[in-house]
Copies of this chain bind each other. A is one copy, B any other.
Amino acid sequence: MTETLIKVDLTQSAYDNDMVHNRWHPDIPIVAWTKPGDDFIIETYDWTGGFIKNNDDASDVRDIDLTIVHFLSGPIGVEGAEPGDLLVVEILDIGAKPDSNWGFNGFFSKNNGGGFLTEHFPSAQKSIWDFEGMFTKSRHIPGVRFPGLIHPGLIGCLPDPKLLKTWNDREIPFVEAHKDRVPPVGTVPFAPTAHMGRLSGEGRDKAAAEAARTVPPREHGGNCDIKDLSRGSKVYFPVYVPGGGLSMGDLHFSQGDGEITFCGAIEMAGWLHLKVDVIKDGMSKYGIKNPIFKPSVITPKYDDYLIFEGISVDEAGQQHYLDVHVAYRQACLNAIEYLKKFGYSGAQAYSILGTAPVQGHISGVVDIPNACATLWLPTKIFEFDINPSAAGPTKFLDGSIDMPLAPDL
């Protein structure tokens, strides 16, 4: 049987598991070693370490302390991996913990995290998704069911001191410069809730004070939230420290491009079966700055989509210059309005866009001043026909079921 290098016990606090950490820092000790060509299993907590519960109350989403995330399993060392190499990681398989066959999706309160459409959905809400083998459905959002495109939202190698400094030098002043923004524009080092793995004592405290938060994707990959890093994909990560120091977590059963709901995709605890290899000196050989990857041949196939366009004119009618973020927001809002015609609440529609395997395409970025983005909604995830017709839409839902909402206190 394949060796499990890191185990997690979901009944135990993630802080008590020393093969877990929630910050990026070169000094976090590698907790397990493997060799090129080996395959092994890694278990992970959900990104909140179990804070969000399988119930019908969104107050946990409202009240979470976001400085605790993300709980990552690792770092794993690969023998012979050295700075400048590429660490090749093949995801052989991935799944939920058998005793935890569910996941959550939600929107943070604008006052505690916010998200892509926080101006439209400013309160904490959540939906629970049950897994039936390879499929999922939610008791809070009827009429939709789809197979998982399971992937780690967060995976990457430890930074070296130079890269860590680069991050802090560019992010800390940026957050400072916008410090009154709600929600904030970034996250800065924060020692009190840092889990530094097997670091302890003064070393731990010093590192915790400067360790990078895990929220943004960065040069090493990290929290890329790329829905396509699913079973069967192969990723090439830059290596910065001896052994690589690969860590991962934030497993998603499924997610739409953009992870627009922020809290988050369909978040779950689970395991990854990985195989590793090394391309010596691969970063310079191939001119690599960020990870590259190859998609899986086992991806769920959807060929029929309904596609929504958005341009970089915001909700107030204001012009933005080739801003794809604004354009994609319009495409998402357009899709939400459309789904409401079939009986969904806005929150349910928003949650579908955040969880189902929707695609977000950068369709045009040069036709001044408007960017054009498209949102691709697979039609077959719905149990009814959502295509437009001369007869007009049918209300399949009567509004009796909605997502729990927890108003700000």
Do the beta carbons of A367 and B292 come within 8 Å of each other? no
In the bound assembly, the distance between CA atoms of A186 and B369 in angstroms comes to 5
Do the beta carbons of B170 and A218 come within 8 Å of each other? no
Residues of A bordering B, CB below 8 Å: 1-2, 39, 86, 91-93, 98-99, 101, 115-116, 132-135, 147, 166, 170-171, 174-175, 178, 183-187, 215-219, 221, 223-228, 231-232, 236, 257-262, 273, 275, 277, 279-282, 285-295, 297-311, 313, 317-319, 321-325, 328, 330-331, 334, 337-338, 340-341, 359-374, 376, 380, 385, 387-390, 392-393
* Cross-chain contact of A392 among B225, B285, B292, B366 (Cβ < 8 A): B285
- 27 A-B residue pairs with Cβ-Cβ distance under 8 Å, sorted by A, are A147-B298, A175-B369, A183-B368, A185-B368, A186-B319, A186-B369, A216-B368, A218-B370, A224-B364, A224-B372, A225-B366, A227-B363, A258-B362, A279-B390, A287-B338, A289-B330, A290-B309, A295-B307, A295-B376, A298-B298, A298-B300, A298-B301, A301-B301, A324-B328, A328-B362, A361-B362, A385-B385
Taking the nearest CB of chain B, how far is it from the CB of A116, in angstroms? 5
Task: Name the CB-closest residue of B to A36.
Answer: B390
Do the beta carbons of A217 and B365 come within 8 Å of each other? no
Interface of chain A, main secondary structure: loop
**A218-B370, A231-B133 known; A306 vs B292 contact (CB < 8 Å):** yes
Do the beta carbons of A308 and B282 come within 8 Å of each other? no
Do the beta carbons of B389 and A279 come within 8 Å of each other? yes
Copies in the complex: 4
**A86-B388, A231-B133, A361-B360 known; A367 vs B223 contact (CB < 8 Å):** yes
Do the beta carbons of A364 and B258 come within 8 Å of each other? yes
Do the beta carbons of B224 and A309 come within 8 Å of each other? yes
Taking the nearest CB of chain B, how far is it from the CB of A271, in angstroms? 11
